[in-house]
Amino acid sequence: MNTEQKRAEHTDSISRGKQLILFLLLPALVLLDQYTKHLAVLHLKEQPDVILIRGVVQLSYVENRGAAFGSMQNMQVLLIGLPVIVLCGIVYALWKMPPTRKYLPMFLVLLVLASGAMGNLIDRIMHAYVVDFIYFSLIDFPVFNVADIYVTCSAAVLILLMLFYYKDEDTAFLKRTQDVSVEDLPVQSSVSDASAAGTDLEEAAEDKAAGRPENKKDGAAGHE
């Protein structure tokens, strides 16, 4: 790798400090989700619906014991296990992801996706249900919450990124178990050559100490 390539990679890389700042997005989004649910419990539970836009959207308190948008009701083991598996996969991807600007969109999308999964997981562990409160009455859409918005939007953006932005080789880091640098190859060759030369010198020293003549192949070839 030449100097210009190294300089380009250094310019394109994201420092660990900036990565830590970006990671703060995760707790911030989770706290926002939990805060909106807390407000829903305080002001909407056992209260009439709050109309935001008549006939379009309103706030309505619902305790959802299923998955997103009311599916998979009363399946708590599965509903807790699946988010945990998703979060483990996201952590693995973020850990293996190269710290370059090219992967910044994927990095941010995975953080938002993890925030949504974590926000609803907290509710399921603490209450065995998720608080939903946003209702689009115009299309009679199932009641949802802020964490559902995180999951839905980030999943859609991630699909678009994988289809139109990233190529197959861009996700090779997920399968890579060991990085092999091309620069290491000549070093290994040089070490092998040096080892062989050292062995020859040792043999020559032993022959000289024993009083045996040195084996000069080149000279013998010349006389022939």
Residues with a catalytic annotation lie at 132, 148
Residue 158: how many other CB atoms lie within 10 Å? 17
> What is the SS3 assignment for 79-139?
HHHHHHHHHHHHHHHHHHCCCEHHHHHHHHHHHHHHHHHHHHHHHHHHHCCEEEEEECCCC
Ramachandran angles phi, psi of 59, nearest 5°: -100, 125
> What contacts 47, CB < 8 A, 6 or more positions away?
61
